[in-house]
Chain A
Amino acid sequence: GESVGLHLPTLSVQEGDNSIINCAYSNSASDYFIWYKQESGKGPQFIIDIRSNMDKRQGQRVTVLLNKTVKHLSLQIAATQPGDSAVYFCAENLYNTDKLIFGTGTRLQVFP
């Protein structure tokens, strides 16, 4: 089962290269941000999160950068692998709510 439709922005990278996926969020009152990865036929899988009092957070092979001035979020994947191929979504959590607002998603394709 596909996760999203045919007209997503697509990022194609070579195996071993670094990937940068960008996201513009909509609400300056959002105070918590999450990156999810969605593979075909599966639900979104949590990758990494960041709170608005931080600019950068690192995980295993992934780094999230937050620029609140321009409402921009990015996900950096180091040494991209074929298993990283998926659709990546950023999500913002509106302040004082439990509601997540998702971006449109970016399809990452990794070729050998």
Chain B
Amino acid sequence: KAGVTQTPRYLIKTRGQQVTLSCSPISGHRSVSWYQQTPGQGLQFLFEYFSETQRNKGNFPGRFSGRQFSNSRSEMNVSTLELGDSALYLCASSLAGRLQETQYFGPGTRLLVL
């Protein structure tokens, strides 16, 4: 069974631009969570989607948004990019989004904002 895939793997943008990242969960998984990883802040939760609905949200500004499609694939969007948005963006999927369920991570998309 294929793991979580994320595209693109690397991305370079300039300040003020917007970016869309894509995540395909493990087949059969319906919950997708997004995390931001930076050297200074570590791994931080962005949001979680289940059945096309955002169920949980972390403490990030409204420039960060996401959505989930009927096939469970998810996208996250960052508008008006800032230098501090440079990070590794990780998505994780789990089977049914139940509590205490293991999340499996993709390889991440490394975003560099210049």
A residues with a Cβ closer than 8 A to B are: 1, 3-7, 31-32, 34, 36, 41-46, 49, 51, 89, 91, 93, 96-105
Contacts and interface: CB of A to CB of B under 8 A. Distances in A.
Given A5-B39, A46-B104, A99 B88 contact: no
B41 to A, nearest CB: 9
Contacts of B50: 98
Given A3-B88, A98-B31, A100-B33, A49 B42 contact: no
B55 A98 contact: yes
Given A32-B100, A97-B56, A4 B39 contact: yes
Given A5-B39, A97-B56, 4 more contacts: A5-B40, A32-B99, A97-B99, A102-B42
B39 A51 contact: no
Contacts of A7: 39
Contacts of A42: 107-108
Contacts of B97: 98
Interface in B39-82: 39-40, 42-45, 48, 50, 55-56, 58
18 contacts: A4-B37, A4-B42, A5-B38, A7-B39, A34-B102, A34-B103, A44-B43, A45-B105, A46-B103, A49-B102, A91-B43, A98-B31, A98-B55, A98-B97, A99-B45, A99-B58, A100-B45, A105-B42
Q: Which DSSP category, helix, strand, loop or mixed, fits chain A's interface?
A: loop
Contact of B4 (A43, A97, A104): A43
B13 interface: no
A32 B103 CA distance: 12
A32 B18 CA distance: 36
Q: Which 10 A-B pairs have the closest CB atoms?
A: A5-B39, A43-B105, A102-B43, A32-B100, A44-B105, A43-B107, A104-B42, A43-B106, A99-B45, A99-B56
